[in-house]
């Protein structure tokens, strides 16, 4: 009862958001079949099929499911790490610092470093995606995620191994968000 007014505020802002933000499909036209930018040609050895699948055809495609599962595992591990990054740092590296204030400060720095590597990962994986395509890009991201998780598990109280592992994990998770 006491918080009821807050829930009504969220309802109103939800209606405003849904009504005030145009859907991209409403303001854009479909690209004509076979359209390419002026002066552009497909790279040699390109594996693009040049056709689009319907949603029902996509659900029957094993490559779609492989990419979906890979994306889900990489995104889930990255989200879990971002949510508890400072706590994990303080728990795992408690013996590496003699002062709890220094440990808390280092945990905050790790969160910042991971966020920056996430940003860089989006840009770099975007370039990789343009060169190699979605399937191979997701495979690389998943391999980086596995390597980072193994590094975290094996780092013990090594600050360097721990930090490098979180940089790799942040980078990979940024790539997941791009793809």
pLDDT digits (tens, 9 = 90+) for 71-130: 788 778 777 877 788 898 999 898 888 888 999 999 999 999 998 999 999 999 999 998
Question: Tokens 């079949």 identify what position?
Answer: 33
pLDDT mean across residues, the chain: 81
pLDDT number for residue 1 = 45
Percent of the chain with pLDDT over 90: 32
State pTM to two decimals: 0.61
pLDDT number for residue 20 = 60
Q: Which residues contact 167 (CB under 8 A, 6 or more apart)?
A: 113, 114, 117
Q: Which helix (H) or strand (E) holds 40?
A: none
34: left (phi over 0), alpha (psi -120 to 50) or beta: left
For the chain, the 3-state helix, strand and coil shares in percent, each to the nearest 5, are 75, 0, 25
pLDDT number for residue 160 = 94
11-36 CB burial, b ≥16 within 10 A, e <16:
eeeeeeeeeeeeeeeeeeeeeeeeee
pLDDT number for residue 133 = 87
Burial class (CB in 10 A: 0-12, 13-18, 19+), 150: exposed
Q: What is the mean pLDDT of residues 131-140?
A: 88
Q: Name the packing angle between helices 100-132 and 134-154 (round to 10°).
A: 160
pLDDT number for residue 123 = 92
Q: Which residue has the higher pLDDT, 103 or 33?
A: 103
Percent of the chain with pLDDT over 70: 80
pLDDT number for residue 47 = 59
């Amino acid at each position: 009862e006491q918080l009821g007014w807050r829930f009504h505020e969220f309802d109103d802002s939800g209606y405003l958001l849904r009504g005030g933000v145009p859907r991209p499909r409403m303001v854009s036209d479909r690209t004509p079949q076979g359209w390419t930018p002026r002066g552009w040609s497909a790279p040699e050895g390109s594996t693009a099929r040049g056709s689009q699948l319907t949603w029902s055809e996509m659900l029957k495609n094993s490559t779609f499911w492989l990419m979906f599962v890979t994306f889900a595992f990489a995104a889930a591990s990255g989200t879990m790490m971002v949510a508890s990054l400072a706590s994990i740092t303080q728990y795992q590296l408690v013996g590496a610092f003699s002062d709890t204030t220094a440990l808390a400060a280092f945990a905050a720095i790790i969160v910042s470093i991971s966020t920056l590597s996430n940003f860089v990962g989006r840009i770099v994986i975007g370039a990789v995606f343009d060169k190699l395509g979605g399937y191979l890009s997701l495979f690389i991201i998943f391999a980086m995620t596995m390597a980072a998780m193994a590094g975290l598990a094996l780092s013990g109280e090594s600050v360097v191994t721990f930090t490098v592992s979180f940089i790799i994990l942040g980078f990979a998770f940024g790539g997941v968000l791009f793809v």
